[in-house]
C-alpha cells in the first residue's frame, strides 16, 4: 500500500488550491471560519461556483455532468476546501439520492432529476427516520398504498435536515405491511409542494431550526416516482447509506478546527500564561492531535483501498466513531478556551449579518452553539453506539 501522493496528485492539489484562492468568496469563507450559519442563498452561491467549474458533483460520471474524481482526488479536494474554509456542499441530492438514481432509477428519472441537482433548481431532503424508526430504520411505518397510477401516502418523518427549504423529499415508505419488515419497504420521491405535506420545525439545543418533522396526510404521489421495484427499497436505502458515510472522518474539517483551537489557546491567558501552556489543556490538545494524526492515516488506508476499487468495510464505522469524537472534542476545547465569553447567545451574529455586533473575542459567539450543535455527529449517520457494535463484531470478532 502506497500512502504518499503521486506527482499527478500533487499537481491536482495545487490546481484545487489555486482555484479556491481565486474563486471562493471572502464573505463565505469568513462565515465558515468563524462558524457562522450558512443561509440557503450562501449554499446556492457556492453550488453555482462549483458547478460552473464542473466540480459540484465529484463522484458523478462525466456523462451526467460530474467531475468523476477518484477517491484520492476527492480526499484532496476535501482537505483543501476545509483549509480554505469553503462551505460544505449539500449532500442529500448530490451524494445520497444521485448514486441511487444512477444505480437503480429509470433513465427517465435520471433525465428528470439529475440536472436540477446541478443547476440548483431542486433542493432535496432525506425522509428516512421516523419517531419509531431511527437506528432500527427497517421499522418505518409511513404507509404508501397504490391506487391506480398513484400512491397515497400517510405518516410522519422526523429529524428531516433542511426540510424547510426542500422542493423534494426521498422517502422510505411501507408498501407491504405483511411482509418481513425489510421486505415491505419502497423508495419514493415526493414533491414537497403536494397537498397534504406539512413541515414543522424542530429547534435544536443551539437555537437553530435545522431539522423538521414532515407529515403526510393522504398525499397523492405519481407511481412513476417510485425508484426501482416496489418492496425493494431496503436494498436502495442501504446503498444510499454507504454513500452517506463517505468522507465521514472529516479529516479536513478537524485539521482546520485544530488550527483554530491552537491559535485561540496561544492568545488566551490562563494564570498569566498562554492557555496552550496550561498542562491540563495542553494534554487534551496533544491527545486530540495524536488521535487526528492516527485517524488521518487510517483514512488514507481506506482512501488508498477505495482508489483500487475495494469497498470500505467496517473501517468506515471506525472512521465515523473516531472522526466524530475528535470533532466533538475540538469544539469542546474551543469552548473551554473562549471561557465565559462562550456564554452569551447571539443569534444575529450567528445568522451571519456582516454588521451584527459581537460580544467578546472572535470565535466567542459561535463556540457555544457549535459545541452544542456538534453533539449531533455521534447520533446521525448511524449512532456511534451502533457503529461500535459493528466494529466489535466485524473487526474484533466478538
Ligand atoms: C441533527 C440531526 C439531523 C438528522 N437528519 C436526518 C435527516 O435529514 N433525515 C433522516 O432521515 N434522519 C435524520 N436524522 C436522524 C438520525 O438518523 C437518527 O437520529 C439516528 O438514526 C438515531 O435514531 P433515533 O434518534 O431514533 O435514536 P434511537 O435509534 O432511538 O436510539 C436512541 C439511543 O439508543 C442507542 N441505540 C439504539 N439501538 C441500539 C443498539 N442496537 N445497540 C446499542 N445502542 C443502541 C442509540 O445509539 C442512541 O443513543 C438526524 C438526526 C439528527 C440528530
Nearest-atom number in ligand 1 for the CA of 383 is: 47
The predicted pLDDT at position 77 comes to: 94
Cβ neighbours of 209 (radius 10 Å): 13
- Tell me the CA–centroid distance for residue 106 and ligand 1, in Å: 31
- Tell me the CA–centroid distance for residue 35 and ligand 1, in Å: 24
Q: What is the best residue among 90, 92, 127, 129 to mutate for testing ligand 1's pocket, by most ligand atoms within 8 Å of CB?
A: 129
According to the 3-state scheme, what is the secondary structure of 318-384? HHHHHHHHHHHHHHHHHHHHHHHHHCCCCHHHHCCCCCCCCCCCCCHHHHHHHHHHHHHHHCCCCCH
Q: How far is the C-alpha of 47 from the C-alpha of 41, rounded, in Å? A: 10
Q: What is the best residue among 134, 158, 241, 369 to mutate for testing ligand 1's pocket, by most ligand atoms within 8 Å of CB?
A: 134
* Torsion angle in degrees (nearest 10) through CA of 243, 246, 250, 253: -60
- Tell me the CA–centroid distance for residue 160 and ligand 1, in Å: 12
CA angle 367, 372, 376 (to 5 degrees): 130
Cell numbers for 74: 476527492
CB of 389 within 6 A of ligand 1: the answer is yes
- Tell me the CA–centroid distance for residue 380 and ligand 1, in Å: 6
Shortest CA distance to 302 belongs to which of 326, 327, 320? 320
Name which residue sits closest to atom 48 of ligand 1, judged by CA: 383
CB of 91 within 6 A of ligand 1: the answer is no
CB of 36 within 6 A of ligand 1: the answer is no
CB of 385 within 6 A of ligand 1: the answer is yes
Catalytic residue among 244, 289, 351, 357: 244
pLDDT per residue, tens digit, the chain (398 aa), is: 566 789 999 999 999 999 999 999 999 999 999 889 999 999 999 999 999 999 999 989 999 999 999 888 988 999 999 999 999 999 999 989 999 999 999 999 999 999 999 998 999 999 999 999 999 999 999 999 999 999 999 999 999 999 999 999 999 999 999 999 999 999 999 999 999 999 999 999 988 899 999 999 999 999 999 999 999 999 999 888 776 666 678 888 999 999 999 999 999 988 899 999 999 999 999 999 999 999 988 888 887 777 676 766 788 889 999 999 999 999 999 999 999 988 888 888 888 766 667 777 888 888 999 999 999 999 998 899 999 999 999 888 88
Name which residue sits closest to atom 44 of ligand 1, judged by CA: 385
The predicted pLDDT at position 277 comes to: 95
CB of 142 within 6 A of ligand 1: the answer is no
User: In terms of DSSP H, where are the helices of the chain?
Assistant: 7-23, 26-34, 40-53, 71-83, 91, 98-104, 107-119, 233-244, 251-267, 279-307, 315-338, 347-350, 364-373, 384-394
- Tell me the CA–centroid distance for residue 248 and ligand 1, in Å: 16
Q: Are strands 168-174 and 124-127 parallel, antiparallel or unpaired?
A: parallel
Q: What is the best residue among 320, 380, 382 to mutate for testing ligand 1's pocket, by most ligand atoms within 8 Å of CB?
A: 380
- Tell me the CA–centroid distance for residue 126 and ligand 1, in Å: 14
Nearest-atom number in ligand 1 for the CA of 135 is: 29
Name which residue sits closest to atom 14 of ligand 1, judged by CA: 159
Name which residue sits closest to atom 26 of ligand 1, judged by CA: 134
Residues whose CB falls within 8 Å of the CB of residue 364, separated by 6 or more in sequence, listed in order: 338, 341, 342, 344, 358
CB of 134 within 6 A of ligand 1: the answer is yes
Cell numbers for 168: 423534494
Asked about 244 being catalytic, the answer comes back as yes
The predicted pLDDT at position 245 comes to: 64
- Tell me the CA–centroid distance for residue 153 and ligand 1, in Å: 23
The predicted pLDDT at position 5 comes to: 85
> pTM for this one?
0.93
On the CB side of 61, how many CA atoms lie within 13 Å of its CA?
A: 7
CB 274 within 8 A of CB 265: yes
The predicted pLDDT at position 362 comes to: 81
Amino acid at each position: 500500500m502506497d500512502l504518499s501522493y503521486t506527482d499527478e496528485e500533487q499537481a491536482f492539489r495545487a490546481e484545487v488550491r489555486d482555484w479556491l484562492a481565486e474563486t471562493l468568496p471572502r464573505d463565505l469563507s469568513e462565515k465558515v471560519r468563524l462558524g457562522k450559519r450558512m443561509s440557503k442563498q450562501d449554499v446556492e452561491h457556492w453550488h453555482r461556483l462549483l458547478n460552473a467549474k464542473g466540480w459540484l458533483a465529484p463522484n458523478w460520471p462525466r456523462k451526467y455532468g460530474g467531475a468523476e474524481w477518484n477517491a484520492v482526488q476527492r480526499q484532496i479536494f476535501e482537505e483543501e476546501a476545509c483549509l480554505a474554509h469553503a462551505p460544505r456542499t449539500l449532500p442529500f441530492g448530490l451524494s445520497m439520492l444521485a448514486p441511487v438514481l444512477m444505480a437503480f432509477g429509470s433513465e427517465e428519472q435520471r433525465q428528470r432529476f439529475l440536472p436540477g441537482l446541478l443547476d440548483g433548481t431542486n433542493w432535496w431532503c432525506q425522509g428516512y427516520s421516523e419517531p419509531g424508526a431511527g437506528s432500527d430504520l427497517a421499522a418505518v411505518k409511513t404507509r404508501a398504498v397504490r391506487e391506480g397510477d398513484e400512491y397515497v401516502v400517510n405518516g410522519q418523518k422526523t429529524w428531516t435536515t433542511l426540510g424547510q427549504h426542500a422542493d423534494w423529499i426521498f422517502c422510505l415508505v411501507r408498501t407491504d405491511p405483511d411482509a418481513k419488515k425489510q421486505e415491505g419497504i419502497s423508495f419514493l420521491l415526493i414533491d414537497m409542494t403536494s397537498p397534504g405535506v406539512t413541515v414543522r420545525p424542530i429547534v435544536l439545543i443551539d437555537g437553530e431550526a435545522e431539522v423538521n418533522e414532515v407529515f403526510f396526510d393522504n398525499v397523492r404521489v405519481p407511481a412513476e416516482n417510485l425508484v426501482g421495484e416496489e418492496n425493494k427499497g431496503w436494498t436502495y436505502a442501504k446503498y444510499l447509506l454507504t454513500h452517506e458515510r463517505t468522507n465521514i472522518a472529516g479529516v479536513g474539517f478537524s485539521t482546520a478546527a485544530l488550527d483554530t483551537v491552537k491559535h485561540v489557546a496561544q492568545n488566551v491567558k490562563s494564570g498569566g500564561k498562554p492557555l496552550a501552556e496550561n498542562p491540563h489543556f495542553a494534554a487534551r490538545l496533544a491527545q486530540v492531535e495524536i488521535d487526528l494524526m492516527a485517524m488521518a492515516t487510517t483514512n488514507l488506508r481506506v482512501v488508498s483501498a477505495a482508489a483500487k476499487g475495494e469497498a470500505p468495510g467496517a473501517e468506515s464505522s471506525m472512521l465515523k466513531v473516531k472522526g466524530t469524537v475528535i470533532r466533538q472534542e475540538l469544539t469542546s476545547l474551543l469552548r473551554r478556551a473562549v471561557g465565559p465569553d462562550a456564554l452569551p447567545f447571539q443569534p444575529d451574529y450567528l445568522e451571519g449579518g456582516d454588521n451584527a455586533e459581537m460580544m467578546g473575542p472572535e470565535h466567542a459567539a459561535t463556540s457555544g452553539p457549535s459545541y452544542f450543535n456538534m453533539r449531533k455527529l455521534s447520533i446521525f449517520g448511524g449512532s456511534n453506539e451502533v457503529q461500535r457494535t459493528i466494529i466489535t463484531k466485524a473487526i474484533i470478532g466478538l
